[in-house]
Amino acid sequence: MAYDVFLVTVPEDFDMAKLVARRLRSLKFTVRFNQKQTEDDIFDAKDARDAGKSGNMLVLWSENSVKNDWVRAAAAVGNSRDGMLVHAGIDKTIPYEPYRKIKRFALEGFTSRKMPEGFYKLVEELAERTGRTDLRAWMKLGSKDEEGREAWFEAHPDDPLAIADRQKREKALGIKPEPAKEAAEAASKAATTIRNGNGQQAAKPTTGVSAAVARASANARTAQATVVQPDEDPVYGTWTIAAIGAAITAIFLFSLVVRSQPVERVDARLPAVGNAQPVVAACPAGTVPRDMVEFIEQGPVDIGMGHGPIIDDTTPPEDE
């Protein structure tokens, strides 16, 4: 942010500095005043940057500020630019060289109810540097002198005081403020970037991803839709449907035939074969399957599984 005034003071003089800053701001001067400054602060890069963006540097000289290193450094920065420094004294203290013989505006006796002649002259000096006029006349007007204020606004329509009053009235009436000149210029430049000449689109990239996307987008917009017309001869469509139906019927009949074939019994002694299904043979009650009998009687002797003929031990023996 650019400032009209970069205020240089010390924490011991903050009461006076706040009063000066408040009065200047009421006149619509922008003031940079760091109220968090401490006695041990040094003039750092941020201070130098803000000073560089300020049009004027106002140094409040006092018995406290002449001994402060931060004030010395700030004054040296301001003195490096021609016409930047503005000196004011809040007591009788005379600053060190090279500021000893430079004009200082006396602010002794400055209070919230009393403005010394030195403050009026200070305001006139700042006004002249910032292109403003008749601020002394404005400060002489009473708060209830509406007629005098209106006349001053009419005489100085471009002064920040008149602009602020006009914006305040428009806001009360619900009128939205016009965009700032800088914002309007930025919008105009953005529109110029999008449009190239008499409503023509800006030049498109010819290489890279952006170019590929642009070409695809253009092709999508300009490509004509292709409509597939139905076959003029409906006979071909009928024959196609009939062939598909016959194929489905043949597959269905084949599946029925396969399922109706008897399933061969699988010998349990044979090794398992893929996709083989075990078949369970039911025997009449009180009987043993022949395969089981043969297996028990003639089982592999080498592993001790053969047991000879089967003896029916279910019938009680006859008494001898």
Q: Residue 94 is part of a domain; what is its CATH number?
A: 3.40.50.10140
- Regarding whether 150 and 164 lie in a shared domain, the answer is yes
Burial 141-168 (b: 16+ CB within 10 A, else e): eeeeeeeebeebbeebeebebbeeeeee
What the block records as the tokens of 281 is 């043979």
Residues 245, 238 contacting (CB under 8 angstroms): no
From residue 28, alpha-carbon distances to 159, 160, 239 in Å are 9, 6, 92
Q: How many independent structural domains does the chain possess?
A: 2
Q: What does pTM read for this prediction?
A: 0.56
- Regarding whether 85 and 11 lie in a shared domain, the answer is yes
From residue 74, alpha-carbon distances to 6, 12, 44, 60 in Å are 10, 17, 10, 11
pLDDT at 173: 84
Domain containing 180 equals 142-197
Q: Which parts of the chain sit beneath pLDDT 70? A: 177-188, 190-237, 257-320
- Regarding whether 147 and 135 lie in a shared domain, the answer is no
- Regarding whether 171 and 108 lie in a shared domain, the answer is no
What SS3 class is residue 32?
Answer: strand
CA gap 77, 57 in Å, rounded: 9
- Regarding whether 108 and 17 lie in a shared domain, the answer is yes
Is residue 21 domain-resident? yes
Is residue 38 domain-resident? yes
pLDDT at 68: 94
Is residue 221 domain-resident? no
pLDDT at 156: 96
Domain boundary among 124, 140, 156: 140
Contacts of 237 (CB under 8 A, 6+ apart): 231
Is residue 126 domain-resident? yes
- Regarding whether 157 and 135 lie in a shared domain, the answer is no
